[in-house]
Amino acid sequence: MTDTPDLSEFYSAVRRVGPICTIRKLLGRLPPDRAASLQAALAAPRDDIPHTAVSAVVKGWGESLSEFTVSRHRMGQCSCPRT
């Protein structure tokens, strides 16, 4: 099953349009356990873990992340490729 089309050309075109999403950069930089919990928190219902809570926890890790960035990423309005 290796007939998945190569979309890297499209993804790189997407990234050229806007700045790389802060969350995407964070996920690449954080230790794997923190990256995994951040991803799980982002996937959790907003009523359970609001944008402000995600932002507060990440700030506690010594990174900067605004709730607006969290919101944009969760709503798919950032530059992350959606698959």
Looking at residue 11, the DSSP 8-state letter turns out to be: H
Choices 11-19, 27-35, 54-62, 69-77 (CB under 5 A): range interacting with Zn ion: 69-77
DSSP structure string for 13-65: HHHHHSPPPHHHHHHHHS-HHHHHHHHHHHHS-TTTS-HHHHHHHHHHTT---
As measured in angstroms, the least distance from the Cβ of 18 to Zn ion is 10
Judged by CB under 5 A, the residue of 13, 73, 75, 76 near Zn ion is 73
Applying the rule CB under 5 A, the residues between 6 and 25 that interact with Zn ion are 21, 23-24
Residues that bind Zn ion (CB under 5 A): 21, 23-24, 73, 78, 80
